[in-house]
Amino acid sequence: MVQAPDSSCVQSELPQALMLLTEMNLSAQHVASLVDKMIQKVRKGELSTGQGLSFLEMKYNMLLSYLINLTYVVLRKCSGEKIEGDPCIDRLVEIRTILEKIKPIDHKLKYQIHKLVKSAVSGTNADDPTSFRANPHHLLGDVEEGTDESEESDEDKGNDAAGSKYSGVYVPPKLSAVHYTGDETAQDRSKRLQERSKKHALSASIMQDLREEYLDTPIEVSQSSRAQQILSKQQQERERYEEEYMTRLPMTKAEKQMRRRLTTGGAPLADEILGGGIGGSNKRKRKQPSGGGRRPKGGKGYKRRKRQ
């Protein structure tokens, strides 16, 4: 037993320590009662433990072992014994390292585990195609919530739209497959936006001109304009995506107009040099007769109809 170096410090911290120990005792009793109830349900067959996930079993065993060793360390410290060189410290470090290493795996399996737990609670098959259908009640609730928010924003802006029940903004259903961004922090989001801005800035025409001016690399001379080069690059990326995912990307009307404008807007270099293009028409425009010249014989080329 190691004696406390300062009895006054111990006396001042003793009430807080007793309060924490009482709270820990109550929490331990509550957890023990819950565990006893679960054990009884498992023995009666109410809870099925077969065909479980070995990953979760390993994770929970690690957490339980971590709590046991941590409780042992707290017990030795409360008893006034030394914990230096105790094997439980090395065991705590080992378990904590394992728990930190399996965090990426836990993140990847989060959606599948949530789906299996939900199917077990609701009693439906997780692979049932009908479970992915849209629920009209959920859609109605989302629309009503969106309507309330839009009405509040309209009131703040001063727009009194009488009788506007729906906001007109499409709200996807909760069961739709959308990109999960719940674990994305503000730092990750700002980093992603910075990378996107950097990519756009490096691909800009002014950066390309600066590269050609200051770098020693040979300049590629082409007959297409900068806009046509960008269009060709976008077309290559589009074809690569379609070939990789075996799907056809739809093209909007605005994209078609932009493609038509880029393909017909700039003339090739040969057309600019020759003035009118290669093999251009050699026909000359017929000169129009001047206003002061003689009118051709016969007057107008049609006869005036006689009135009946």
Structure confidence by residue, pLDDT tens digits, 19-75: 888 898 899 899 899 989 988 888 888 777 777 788 888 998 999 999 999 989 988
- One domain for residues 116 and 20: yes
pLDDT at 225 over 50: yes
Round to whole Å and give the CA distance between 242 and 236. 10
Round to whole Å and give the CA distance between 23 and 87. 28
pTM here?
0.37
- State the DSSP code for 276: S
pLDDT of residue 53: 80
Round to whole Å and give the CA distance between 62 and 74. 18
pLDDT of residue 96: 93
pLDDT of residue 99: 92
Round to whole Å and give the CA distance between 83 and 73. 7
pLDDT of residue 216: 75
- One domain for residues 116 and 228: no
Per-residue pLDDT band for 84 (boundaries 50, 70, 90) equals: confident
What mean pLDDT is predicted for residues 75-79? Answer: 85
Residue with tokens 């995506």: 241
- State the DSSP code for 164: -
CA distances from 274 to 126, 228, 280 (A): 69, 21, 9
Residue 176 has a CB neighbour count (10 Å cut-off) of: 8
What mean pLDDT is predicted for residues 68-96? Answer: 88
Decide: 272 and 244 in contact? Cβ < 8 Å.
no
Assess if residue 276 is contained within a domain: no
Assess if residue 107 is contained within a domain: yes
Assess if residue 283 is contained within a domain: no
Each residue of 117-129: pLDDT tens digit?
Answer: 877 777 666 566 6
pLDDT of residue 6: 60
Q: Tokens in use for 307?
A: 């009135």
- One domain for residues 23 and 121: yes
What mean pLDDT is predicted for residues 171-184? Answer: 65
Residue 222 structural domain: 191-268
Q: Tokens in use for 64?
A: 């339980």
Assess if residue 279 is contained within a domain: no
Each residue of 122-155: pLDDT tens digit?
Answer: 766 656 666 666 666 655 554 444 555 555 555 4
CA distances from 13 to 7, 72, 92, 206 (A): 10, 21, 27, 68
> What is the tally of structural domains in the chain?
3
pLDDT at 1 over 50: no
- One domain for residues 151 and 258: no
Per-residue pLDDT band for 274 (boundaries 50, 70, 90) equals: very low
What mean pLDDT is predicted for residues 179-188? Answer: 76
CA atoms within 13 A on the CB side of 144: 6
Burial class of residue 73 (count of CB atoms within 10 Å of its CB; 0-12, 13-18, 19+):
middle
Assess if residue 158 is contained within a domain: yes
Q: Tokens in use for 277?
A: 């293009």
Round to whole Å and give the CA distance between 156 and 148. 12
Round to whole Å and give the CA distance between 183 and 107. 9
pLDDT at 163 over 50: no
User: Bigger pLDDT: 267 or 75?
Assistant: 75
